[in-house]
Amino acid sequence: MIDGLEVHELAVHEDNRGWFKENWGGEKLTPKQQNVSFNAKAGTTRGMHAEPWDKWVSVATGRVYGAWVDMREGSATYGEKFGVEIGPGTAVFVPRGVANGFQALEDDTTYIYLVNQRYSPGGAFCSYREIDWPLEPAELSQKDLEHPMLADAAPLPPRKILVTGANGQLGSALRKIWDEKMADFFARDEFDVVRPPDLDFSQYWAIVNCAAYNDVNGAENDRATAWAVNADAPAGLASIANDHDLTLVHVSSDYIFDGETEVHAEEETASPLSAYGASKAAGDTAAQVARRHYVIRTSWVFGDGSNFMSTMADLAKRGVSPQVVSDQRGRPTSAEDLAKGISHLLETGAEYGVYNITSDGDTAGRDEIAMAVYIGVGCDPSDVHPVTSEEYGKDAAARPKESTLSLDKIKNAGFSPSNWRAALAIYLATLS
């Protein structure tokens, strides 16, 4: 059997008038186009066409012999064939890249199928001669006569993951996991999430949105930009995901909470304190409109690029004794952990929804984390001077006091993040 191909039995209700059936009831795909193929003569044969979309096939009148060949590059069942007779009581789900063909077994046969993409040229093709048809093939199109045998045909490449904000900390970490065969990485100048380019989204199966407006203080005076990037853009990406049957991964933040709860679970209602937090909370909600979504809430990310850890390491090496707030507590997140957690959800097909992903370990104040950085780079932790947020007084935007995110759900999904202190030690070693 071809991997992913499914034969479904339909209930057909017959009486003196004829019959009635529900041909499709929401299974497997979201239709974007319905096609009807009328075949006047028995023996009429069409195929084999492996287009870059899924199909739901059945008949309205008559009977056909449906036939399929797996032409998906890298498929475990590549080259395998399958056939079955299709009458009113049968429907077949055909995955993207599986070549589809059929032969009319009766005169005046009407073949019907739903697809989850609007038609566009492209795909892979092989000869109808690959199939042992019940009847002598007749009434073939010239194009179908010219298709090559499978051994000489080009397979259909697998769909990729589209990554936005690819030059940030998370995007850089994802580049270390997914190669060019698995993902296309777009920087802001290539894919502006506020005004997405007109791409052929049929070549993708998921979008991972790493793009964000991250200037917490700046958002207080630049609310429109923060809202456009953090709220409007995820809403637009959710619409694209729904239009093309894609999975949307969107990265949210601990700043959607007011920090009054010591540990934040996925079910907690958003209660942002700042313009930045409000924009992230709106994007968090908007992304959940995608039928297939993973909304990832994280906190205090460190990786390739500028972040709190790299700033503290630089200050330590320059002999600076900074004031660091002691009343903002949480768990830092290695960008590597975040990237691996997202990859795990996509690869395992975990239940869609909201997931917290941070590194594991103890909850610590920002001052304690700064001290850990100073120790990690061989400097004196006593050079870090703890102060309250009020005493610090340099932030235009309010911050949550408690930012620790519960990891129970992501662990139950089979992913175990590393301890943030171990991840920090490894990270600091890369800075020296």
Residues with Cβ within 8 Å of 349's Cβ and at least 6 positions away in sequence, in order, are: none
What is the sign, positive or negative, of the torsion defined by CA atoms of 255, 261, 265, 271? negative
Bond into 48 cis (ω within 30): yes
CA-to-CA separations, 332 to 261, 309, 377, in angstroms, rounded: 17, 9, 17
Q: Which 3 state secondary structure label does DSSP give 101?
A: strand
DSSP state of 351: P
Helical spans, DSSP H, in 90-149: 142-146
Question: Of 257, 236, 256, which is closest to residue 248 (Cα–Cα)?
Answer: 236
Which residue is listed with tokens 């005004």? 195
Instruction: Please state at what angle helix 366-376 crosses helix 420-431, rounded to 10 degrees.
Output: 50
Residue 93 in tokens: 């789900």
Residue 294 in tokens: 């993973």
CA-to-CA separations, 218 to 64, 163, 208, in angstroms, rounded: 64, 25, 25
Rounded Cα distance between 70 and 3, Å, is: 8
Q: Check: CB of residue 130 under 8 Å from CB of residue 73.
A: no
Q: Which 3 state secondary structure label does DSSP give 66?
A: strand
Beta strand ranges found along 186-236 (DSSP E): 204-209
Active site (catalytic) residues: 276
Which residue is listed with tokens 């002691």? 326
Question: CA triplet 386, 387, 389: central angle to 5 degrees?
Answer: 135
DSSP state of 150: G
Q: Cα-atom radius of gyration of the chain, to the nearest Å?
A: 27
Q: Check: CB of residue 37 under 8 Å from CB of residue 96.
A: no
Rounded Cα distance between 208 and 121, Å, is: 27
Give the phi and the psi of residue 132 in degrees, each rounded to 5.
-85, 95
Q: Check: CB of residue 79 under 8 Å from CB of residue 69.
A: yes
